[in-house]
Amino acid sequence: MKFICIGKNYLAHAREMGWQIPQEPMFFFKPENALPSQAGIFPYPEFSQDVHYEIEVAVRIDAGGRNLTEEQAAGCYSHISLGIDFTARDLQKQQKELGFPWEICKSFEDSAPVGSWIPLEEFGGDIQNLSFTLEVNGEGKQQGATRDMIFPVNQLIAHISRYVTLDPGDIMFTGTPEGIGPVQPGDTLKGYLEGTEVITVTVQ
Ligand code: MN
């Protein structure tokens, strides 16, 4: 199992980070052990002083493949959730300056908690018509709508599958909207999909 994470997929977030708007999807991987060993707990890593939350719609691949068309991609998943793409922002800044890849700031142990999986049908069946929010300690921090994605989900799946086989159980994080910010030990993060709480994470 692997995590495939999309970067820069919402205009307002790309702007807040000072990124150029991508011409094609940008992605990176997280390893299987980015899923926290203790559900609902994110242990703050000792190597960073500036870890940020990024709430993202997560898609679980049921039937994967290689070189998928967008039509085939639409049949690859049936359940969705929310995930948090924890990012060591201080290390990311260093990596960007050095022109180095992002593994140490994005792909570390426990960096990708995921909430409960819910059938997309329960939310009406259209993955590009979902709203989601993140609260930190009860305060609203991020608010997103999947219609605002630069590259929609089926296009993302088709694109990624040109480069690597998607396997059943793989999880795709589809990018974060604006409003990212830091977390501290003791914080509690709650993510809501169409108003339903699907993920709770406590920073330890
Ligand atoms: Mn992200």
Q: How far is the CA of 86 from the centre of ligand 1 (A)?
A: 8
Q: How far is the CA of 189 from the centre of ligand 1 (A)?
A: 16
Q: How far is the CA of 125 from the centre of ligand 1 (A)?
A: 24
Mean pLDDT to the nearest integer, 160-165: 98
Q: How far is the CA of 7 from the centre of ligand 1 (A)?
A: 5
**Spatial distance between the Cα atoms of 82 and 167, rounded to a whole number of angstroms:** 20
pLDDT of residue 17 exceeding 90, the answer is no
Q: How far is the CA of 121 from the centre of ligand 1 (A)?
A: 25
Q: How far is the CA of 84 from the centre of ligand 1 (A)?
A: 8
Beta 3-7 vs 171-173: how paired, if at all? Answer: parallel
* Number of structural domains in the chain: 1
Which residue in the block uniquely carries the two structure tokens 């609260």? 135
| Percent helix, percent strand, percent coil in the chain, to nearest 5 | 25, 35, 45
Helix H or strand E segment including 171: strand 171-173
Q: How confident is the model at residue 19 (pLDDT cuts 50, 70, 90)?
A: confident
Q: How confident is the model at residue 20 (pLDDT cuts 50, 70, 90)?
A: confident
Boundaries of domain holding 91: 3-203
Helix H or strand E segment including 42: strand 41-42
Q: How far is the CA of 54 from the centre of ligand 1 (A)?
A: 6
- CATH code: domain of residue 177: 3.90.850.10
Q: How far is the CA of 75 from the centre of ligand 1 (A)?
A: 24
**Spatial distance between the Cα atoms of 4 and 58, rounded to a whole number of angstroms:** 10
**Spatial distance between the Cα atoms of 74 and 122, rounded to a whole number of angstroms:** 16
pLDDT of residue 40 exceeding 90, the answer is yes
Q: How far is the CA of 173 from the centre of ligand 1 (A)?
A: 7
pLDDT tens digit sequence for 91-105: 999 999 999 999 999
| DSSP reduced 3-state for 153 | helix
- Output phi, psi for 175, to 5 deg: 105, 155
